[in-house]
Structures are given as C-alpha cells and as structure tokens.
Structure 1
Amino acid sequence: MNYLAHAFLSGDNTKVQLGGLLGDFQKGPLPQLPLTDTSRHSAFLQQPDIHFGIEHHRAIDAYSDSLESFRECAALFDKRFRRVAPIVVDICFDHYLAKQWSQHHMQTLSEFANGLYLTMARCPDAPSGFVRFRERSRSADLFNLYQDTETIAVALERVAQRFSRPHLMDGAYDNWLSRYEDMEAGFERCFAEIKHFAGNRLADEGYPTSNWRL
C-alpha cells in the first residue's frame, strides 16, 4: 500500500494516521512501550497511538503481500516488470482509491487530505525524509492529485530515481494504462480484503473507523 491507502486504513484517529504515514520513513525494529530510556528514541515513537500506527502500517504491508488478489494485480504487468510490479501496484492503488473515494469514506477527499496535511505538520521530531515528503505533498496537494493518472507517472519517476537501475521502471506507466480496467477490478477485490483486515485490527485496539463506508 502507498501513502493515501495507509492513511485511510489507519481509521479516524489522527495520530494513528500519522503513524501510518511514518511507516515508510521509520526503519528498523520498533522499541517496546513503555520506553525505559526516552533519550534514545524519537519523540513520535514515544506516543502509543503513533507507535501503533507504524506497527499497523507494517502489518498491512505484510498482509497485502500475502494476498493472491495482490499477486494477480502484479501479474497483469509484462514479464519484464516482474521485479518492480508490486511497487507499481502499490502506487497505482492510491489512484484507484482516490478515484473511488466517495465509495469508501464519509468525508470528501479534499477534506480528508486537508486533515492529513495538518496532522503531518504536528509530527514531533519528524525524520528528514518525512519532512521532505510532508512539504512536497502539501505544496502540490498530492493526495487530491492521486485522482489524475499523470500524478502516478510522476510518482513512478521519483521511485525509479531511487533505484540503482532506474531503467527497470521504463515503460511501466504505459503498461499500467494498457491494463487500467483489469487493474481497477483487481484493486476492488484486493482492497476489500485489506480494508477488512485493517478494520479488525483497529477495532481490536479500540480505534474508530466511523468515517468508513462499509
């Protein structure tokens, strides 16, 4: 899952949402709470809701990778994209979620996105990568722009720049567009499973999902 999906799948609690977004920037094992030595860990890791949000992010990633419906989406790409297809699927899923947003959430996408930008601004002791993402996403209104396929092209280019062999991503965007409808159908199957999984985890910990459309 990518940024918008992780924020959505974190439910209504804004600190859990923040943890859901931080999951892509906080690497390594998480310390157990309560912390015995707070000086060794970032301030955001000391907040139980944010801490759970990062754990929740990782659990969702592991679950989605295990799904046959996710693997079927990755298999829609030509064989030359075998290594990068799961990454591309994650990013494309944010497009489909944004496109179908009103089917999943009570708030408009603009309302949800504006709330996320405010939440991200309140992150204590934020990692440098998160700060760059926060500023870029807010200035470009990234979460709203996921509705446009061109935003996915830009996102894939950014990801390719981080690869030691960026050419592996060449043509992936066009390949996705050629299978657009098939991928959308795959998204609907896969996201329904992930949404159910995430909702159960949140409910078990007492976190609300009252804004979700079920």
Structure 2
Amino acid sequence: MNYLAHLFLASEEPDERLGSLIADFTRGRLQTLAKDYPPGVMWGIALHRQVDRFTDDNPWVVQSRLRIAAPYRRYSGIILDILYDHFLSSYWSEFSGQDRQSFIQDIYRLLDRRRNDLPARLRALAPRMQREDWLGSYAEFEVIGQVYQRMSQRMRQPNRLAGAMEEVRRHYPELAQDFRQFFPELIVFVQQQERRNRP
C-alpha cells in the first residue's frame, strides 16, 4: 500500500492519520518510537505496519504479483504499491462517501498544520508532495509510468522497473479486478484491528 491508501485506511483522528504517513519514514521497534510520538501517532504507525503485513500475505495480492512477468516480478511490491493508489483513486466512490479531492486537501492541510511534528525527511518532502499533488495525481494512468521511471533512476543497482508499465498495461483489467476483491478484505481487516487492538 502507498500513501493514499494508508491515509484512507486511518481514522479521521489527526494523530492517527499522521502516524499512517509517518510510518514510511520511521524504522525500529514500536516501543522505541513511542518515546518520540504520542499514542495516536503510534497507533497510526502500528496500523500501517499491520496493513503492510496483511497486504503482503493476501491471496489477491499474491495473484497480482504472479501476473507480472518474471523479469519485473522482483519489483512487484513497488509496482503494486503505486498501482493500488491509482486503483483506489479510480474506484474511490466504491469505498468512500467523501469526495476524493476534499479528502486529499484535508490531508495537505493537516501536513501544513503539523509540519513541526513530522520526521525531518517527511517534513522536507511534504511541500513537494503537495506541489506535485502526489495523492491526487496517481489517478492519471500515465503518471504511474512516470513514477516508475523516477523510482528506477533513484535505485542504486541497474534495474528494469522503468519498463514495468508495459506489464501493467498488459494485465490492467485483471490487476484492477484483483484490487477490487482485495481492498474490501483489507477494510474489514482494519476494522477488526480497530475493535481488537485500539489502545
């Protein structure tokens, strides 16, 4: 799951939304991180990690990975993370009654308000995220290819990620269907975590 999906799955509580995003910019044990962040942020970080584990093991996601040809499969986690934000944007009304652009603008305002609470790397990245509308732009299919290209250039080792868009085009309907089966299961999982494990 990428930024938009994690934010979507978090509750509307600002600390928890922040935590769902901060999780990608933190490492280490939750007990250690709890020294630096309040309980709401920590819940968002913990939920983000649970969502990632559930996603990695979900049969629909495994099936999506297997659709991707062998030369690209080692990057399938990255490919699907980005693509699933695109699918969430595409099928937003199936999962939410809130206007997608309103949701995204709420997130950008939250990042502005809580700028000083963000880890340094996210604090530095947030203005670019807003300027280039990372949360909204993935709705455009061609933007996905541009993201793969940029990520390919940032990797240290030679890689074939930039060519992954051909695989996505080839299997787009099947990958979209996998997502539409998977995401409701993920929503139920998050609801269960909220009921069982919320502090």
- Structure 2 gaps, min length 5: none
Which residue, 178, 186, 200 being the options, matches 2:170?
Answer: 178
What are the equivalent positions in structure 2 for 1:72-87 lying under 5 Å apart?
72-87=63-78
TM-score, normalised to structure 2's length? 0.91
What are the equivalent positions in structure 2 for 1:36-47 lying under 5 Å apart?
41=36, 45=37, 47=38
- Residue 141 of structure 1 deviates from its aligned partner by 1.9
Separation in 2 of the partners of 1:33 and 1:167?
Answer: 33
The C-alpha deviation readout for 1:169-211, integer Å capped at 9, x for no partner, is 131012101111110001011112111111221233569xxxx
- Identical-pair percentage: 28
Distance 1:49 1:173, change over 3 A: same
Distance 1:132 1:152, change over 3 A: farther
Counterpart contact for 2:145–2:162, Cα < 8 Å: no
Separation in 1 of the partners of 2:67 and 2:34?
Answer: 45
Structure having the larger proportion of residues in helix: 2
- Residue 29 of structure 1 deviates from its aligned partner by 1.4
Distance 1:54 1:34, change over 3 A: closer
Distance 1:33 1:146, change over 3 A: closer
SS in 2 for 1:202: helix
Establish whether residue 119 from structure 1 lines up as the match of residue 113 from structure 2: no
Aligned to 1:142: 134
Aligned to 1:21: 21
Distance 1:169 1:99, change over 3 A: same
Aligned to 1:212: none
Which residue, 145, 156, 178 being the options, matches 1:153?
Answer: 145
Distance 1:164 1:33, change over 3 A: closer
- Could you tell which deviates more after superposition, 128-137 or 79-88? 128-137
Separation in 2 of the partners of 1:179 and 1:88?
Answer: 12
Aligned to 2:87: 96
Separation in 1 of the partners of 2:17 and 2:173?
Answer: 29
Separation in 2 of the partners of 1:95 and 1:34?
Answer: 32
Aligned to 1:38: none
- Residue 95 of structure 1 deviates from its aligned partner by 0.1
Separation in 2 of the partners of 1:58 and 1:34?
Answer: 15
Separation in 1 of the partners of 2:15 and 2:159?
Answer: 37
- Structure 1 gaps, min length 5: 36-40, 208-214
Count of residue correspondences: 198
- Residue 77 of structure 1 deviates from its aligned partner by 0.8
Q: Work out which structure has the larger RCO, using CA pairs closer than 8 Å and 6 or more positions apart in sequence.
A: 1
Separation in 1 of the partners of 2:34 and 2:148?
Answer: 38
- Residue 34 of structure 1 deviates from its aligned partner by 6.8
Equivalent position amino acid for 2:106 in 1: G
Separation in 1 of the partners of 2:96 and 2:158?
Answer: 35
